[in-house]
Structure 1
Amino acid sequence: MTRLIDLFRNKYFLATVAFALWMLFFDKNDMMSQYEYRSQANKLQEEKEYFEKETAQVKNDLNELNTNLNTAEKFAREKYFMKKDNEDVFVIIREEKKD
């Protein structure tokens, strides 16, 4: 018991505890802020990966469009629903069945 009391009277121990409490809860970069920053960084990393995949897909589409004219017509019809003057376009949307 006396060792515990002596420990709490030690100024170095008290300074260390005060510093740790300050850094964990009261500082600008406390634990909650670090958790929020980490979760935001993970979210941004996922968005980056998604947009890198989309960019690669768009580059592939662009390369294909520049090399083949038939592909350009197919792309315009499928993606932008373009049609010739004497054609009708029907868009079929399939709904999933709910059990």
Structure 2
Amino acid sequence: MPRSSKSYIKFLKPFKNVFLLILIVFSVWMLFFDSNSWFIHNELNNEIDKLEEEKDYYKQEIKKDQKEIKKLSTDDGIEKFGREHYKMKRENEEIYIIEYEDSLKQKKNE
């Protein structure tokens, strides 16, 4: 036999062991083809992490909204909200809105 065929046979010698073959096939199956493969499991873990971040964000938003609701539950809070957002006023009261130059929108021609 030529020398290359001996090295080829020497390379294949560990693959004659049935247990090793079964282990290799099982490993490949679990990594790539199974419904619980490592890749799918990794993808799902990343999705879980993103969802947990979203959950924390929404919990913080809920806390902010609850504070706003608490402020608006009083008469003073409702009055303040109406004055600031809807420019409401009491009878016999005048409101002056002061706008500064840097807060005004600039025209493109100027």
Q: Same fold (TM over 0.5)?
A: yes
Give, in whole Å, the separation in 1 of the partners of 2:77 and 2:27: 64
Bigger radius of gyration, 1 or 2? 2
CA contact (8 A) 2:71 2:77 kept: yes
> 1:18-47 CA deviation, whole Å, 9 max, x = no partner?
000000011112222122211211111111
Q: Which residue of 2 aligns with 1:97?
A: none
Q: Which residue of 2 aligns with 1:47?
A: 54
Q: Tell me the matched-pair count.
A: 91
Cα separation, partners in 2 of 1:64 and 1:9, compared to 1, 3 Å = same
CA contact (8 A) 1:83 1:89 kept: no
Q: Which residue of 1 aligns with 2:45?
A: 38
Give, in whole Å, the separation in 1 of the partners of 2:47 and 2:61: 21
Counterpart AA for 2:58: F
Q: Which residue of 2 aligns with 1:69?
A: 75
Aligned-pair identity in percent equals: 29
Give, in whole Å, the separation in 2 of the partners of 1:76 and 1:8: 81
The alignment's C-alpha RMSD in Å is 3.1
SS of residue in 1 equivalent to 2:35? coil
Q: Which residue of 1 aligns with 2:36?
A: 29
Shift of 1:87: 6.1
Counterpart AA for 2:79: E
Counterpart AA for 1:22: W
Stretches of structure 1 lacking an aligned partner (at least 5 in a row): 95-99
